[in-house]
């Protein structure tokens, strides 16, 4: 094997460049040329098939900085339709003409679904990334516990998780954490911490919305910012209990901070925020408005009188406000935890291709004795019997639905990831760079400008 390809699919995360860097370093050691495909699967769908040689003469190009967020290769949510055989043929032809003998896709569950048609034609390995932390399993046979039920809406069936609520062994989780998650939690927990002082000073109730789609991992981790209440999508809203908790807390401290995952659902299981069920090209529902919808419910349920009595003035509408942490969760410098393990997983993916593995995933495992370590997994271990990959949800034992906080097991899950997630260099980096006077004079220099000069195309 002489040359392999790599691409970054789906939304960006802070650790993508670190994964690519880890892959490039390992490729150098194995004398493999590494071609980066531009804008994810979009490159392969384009007859020009733009790419960058990431390790000419087996040294990594200087633009590939593992401490920078985003991806120098660019990303897109384009996927390959497995039914469209003509397009699959064209893609394979393009890969052959580029001399690419194996492909690494850095992505999440959507990417693993999307790379299936390629696996049948060229060795392909997934290197995990996602801030949502939803790629993996809570326990080994979890995929077998999905059932299909008929429904009226297309495609004519729904999936339902049939697993009993049982205790879980953290050491048996498959892919314990995903690069990008720790940094996203760092940003969201910092946001929660910062909103607190306004809520406190102005006697307000803050609802902070965090990302994560239908998985509540980011919301769970945001507990590090000490919110009073955490709402996760896996646990349907119990408005009565929420109002009770809000009042209990407000009566004592005259402010409440609530974190809500963007995918939280109401009592009937419908997303609170996704009023228009629009989907992105990967078929994911685009979630928005959960915190606003929750605010309206709280305004109505708590009412003005409560605030007028307790605060002697303002109406509920003035007392309850919302803030989204938004895309800052996905951006900027990755924390040491993400950088280190993203690089390891990238390197592992190259080894797996080199060893002849196909339709496989490099994964991050954890156990008490040896901490984190990388491993490999057959892609089918993540697919149900219909071949579908489900986003991992927060296990019920991680969440205390009565207190609306991470449970003891949830805390035990978070500790190995976050206790040393921030490196001393992360703090020093902020100290040295944020208020660098040069920032005020120099325009931002985008890495895209430099990468453009390196991009080559099939038809050049
Ligand atoms: O999957 C990552 C994620 O950031 C989700 O948490 C969020 O719902 C979605 O992507 C946002 O996507 P976009 O960048 O397309 O707005």
* pLDDT for position 277: 56
Atom number in ligand 1 closest to CA 286: 8
What's the rounded Cα separation, in Å, for the pair 204 and 157?
A: 43
Name 9's bridge partners.
Answer: 76
Closest C-alpha to ligand 1, atom 14: 11
Residue range 283-306: mean pLDDT, rounded: 90
Residue-wise pLDDT tens digits, 105-119: 999 988 998 888 999
Closest C-alpha to ligand 1, atom 10: 11
- Ligand 1 within 6 A of 214 CB? no
What is the number of alpha carbons within 13 Å of residue 34 lying toward its C-beta?
A: 33
What's the rounded Cα separation, in Å, for the pair 15 and 180?
A: 5
How far is the centre of ligand 1, averaged over its atoms, from the C-alpha of 131 (Å)? 9
| pTM confidence score | 0.96
Closest C-alpha to ligand 1, atom 13: 11
What's the rounded Cα separation, in Å, for the pair 116 and 452?
A: 30
293's tokens: 């919808």
How far is the centre of ligand 1, averaged over its atoms, from the C-alpha of 326 (Å)? 9
Whether residue 450 has pLDDT greater than 90 = yes
* pLDDT for position 451: 98
Q: Single out the residue of 175, 179, 162, 125 nearest to residue 17, CA to CA.
A: 179
Residue range 227-241: mean pLDDT, rounded: 98
Atom number in ligand 1 closest to CA 218: 6
What stretch(es) of the chain map to CATH 3.40.50.450? Answer: 3-138+334-391+424-454
Q: What is the DSSP string of 407-437?
A: -HHHHHHHHHHHTT-S-HHHHHHHHHHTT-T
CATH number of 182-329: 3.40.50.460
Average pLDDT, the chain: 94
How far is the centre of ligand 1, averaged over its atoms, from the C-alpha of 58 (Å)? 35
Q: Are 136 and 217 in contact (CB under 8 A)?
A: no
What stretch(es) of the chain map to CATH 3.40.50.460? Answer: 182-329
CB contact burial 299-316 (16+ within 10 A = b; e otherwise): beebeeebbeebbeebeb
Of residues 286 and 332, more confidence is placed in 332
- Count helices and strands in the chain by DSSP H and E runs: 15, 15
* pLDDT for position 281: 61
Range in 47-61, 154-168, 198-212, 433-447 the model is least confident about: 154-168
Q: Work out the pLDDT band at 275, boundaries 50, 70, 90.
A: low
How far is the centre of ligand 1, averaged over its atoms, from the C-alpha of 100 (Å)? 30
Residue-wise pLDDT tens digits, 139-149: 999 999 999 99
Atom number in ligand 1 closest to CA 213: 8
- Ligand 1 within 6 A of 132 CB? yes
Q: How far is CA 126 from CA 6, 316, 388, 432, in A?
A: 10, 48, 15, 36
* pLDDT for position 205: 97
CATH class of the region 3-138+334-391+424-454? alpha beta
What value does the CA radius of gyration of the chain take, rounded to a whole number of Å? Answer: 23
Residue-wise pLDDT tens digits, 349-373: 999 999 999 999 999 999 999 999 9
* pLDDT for position 278: 63
Q: How far is CA 273 from CA 206, 207, 211, 243, 282, in A?
A: 17, 13, 12, 19, 19
- Ligand 1 within 6 A of 290 CB? no
Percent of the chain with pLDDT over 90: 87
Distance from the first to the final alpha carbon of the chain: 24
Q: Which residue has the tokens 């098939």?
A: 49
Ligand 1 pocket test target in 213, 280, 288 with most atoms within 8 Å of CB: 213
Q: Is beta strand 405-406 parallel, antiparallel or unpaired with respect to 399-400? A: antiparallel
Range in 272-276, 282-286, 361-365, 396-400 the model is least confident about: 282-286
- Ligand 1 within 6 A of 191 CB? no
22's tokens: 């880890």
- Ligand 1 within 6 A of 330 CB? yes
326's tokens: 């938004």
């Amino acid at each position: 094997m002489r040359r392999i390809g790599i691409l970054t699919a789906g939304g960006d995360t802070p650790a993508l460049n670190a994964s690519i860097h880890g892959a490039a370093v390992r490729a150098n050691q194995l004398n493999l040329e590494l071609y980066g495909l531009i804008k994810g699967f979009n490159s392969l769908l384009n007859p020009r098939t733009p790419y960058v040689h990431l390790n000419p003469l087996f040294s990594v190009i200087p633009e590939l900085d593992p401490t920078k967020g985003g991806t120098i290769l660019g990303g897109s949510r384009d996927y390959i339709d497995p039914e469209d055989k003509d397009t699959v043929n064209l893609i394979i032809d393009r890969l052959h003409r580029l001399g690419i003998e194996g492909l690494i896709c850095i992505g999440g569950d959507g990417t693993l679904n999307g790379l299936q048609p390629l696996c049948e034609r060229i060795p392909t390995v997934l290197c995990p990334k996602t801030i949502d932390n939803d790629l993996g399993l809570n326990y080994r046979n979890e995929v077998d516990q999905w059932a299909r039920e008929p429904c009226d809406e297309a495609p004519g069936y729904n999936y339902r998780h049939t697993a009993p609520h049982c205790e879980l062994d953290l050491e048996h989780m498959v892919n314990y954490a995903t690069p990008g998650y720790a940094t996203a939690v760092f940003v969201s927990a910092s946001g929660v911490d910062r909103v607190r002082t306004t809520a406190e000073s102005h006697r307000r109730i803050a609802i902070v919305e965090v990302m994560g789609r239908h998985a509540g991992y980011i919301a769970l981790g945001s507990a590090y910012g000490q919110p009073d209440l955490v709402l996760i999508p896996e646990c349907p809203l119990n408005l009565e209990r929420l109002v009770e908790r809000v009042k209990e807390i407000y009566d004592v401290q005259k402010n409440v901070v609530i974190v809500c995952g963007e995918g939280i659902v109401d009592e009937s299981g419908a997303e609170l925020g996704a009023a228009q069920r629009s989907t992105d090209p990967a078929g994911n529902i685009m979630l928005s408005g959960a915190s606003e919808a929750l605010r309206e419910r709280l305004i109505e349920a708590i009412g003005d009188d409560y605030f007028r009595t307790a605060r002697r003035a303002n109406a509920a509408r003035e007392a309850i406000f919302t803030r989204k942490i938004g895309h800052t969760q996905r951006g900027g410098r990755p924390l040491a935890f993400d950088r280190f393990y993203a690089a390891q997983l990238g390197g592992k993916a190259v080894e797996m291709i080199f060893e002849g593995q196909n339709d496989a995933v490099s994964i991050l495992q954890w156990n008490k004795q040896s901490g984190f370590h990388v491993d490999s997994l057959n892609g089918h271990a993540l697919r149900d019997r219909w071949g579908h990959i489900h986003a991992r949800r927060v296990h019920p034992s991680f969440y205390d639905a009565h207190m609306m906080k991470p449970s003891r097991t949830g805390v035990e899950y978070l500790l190995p990831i976050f206790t040393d997630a921030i490196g001393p260099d992360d703090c020093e980096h902020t100290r040295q760079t944020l208020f660098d006077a040069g920032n005020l004079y120099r325009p931002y220099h985008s890495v895209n400008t430099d990468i453009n000069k390196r991009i080559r195309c099939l038809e050049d």
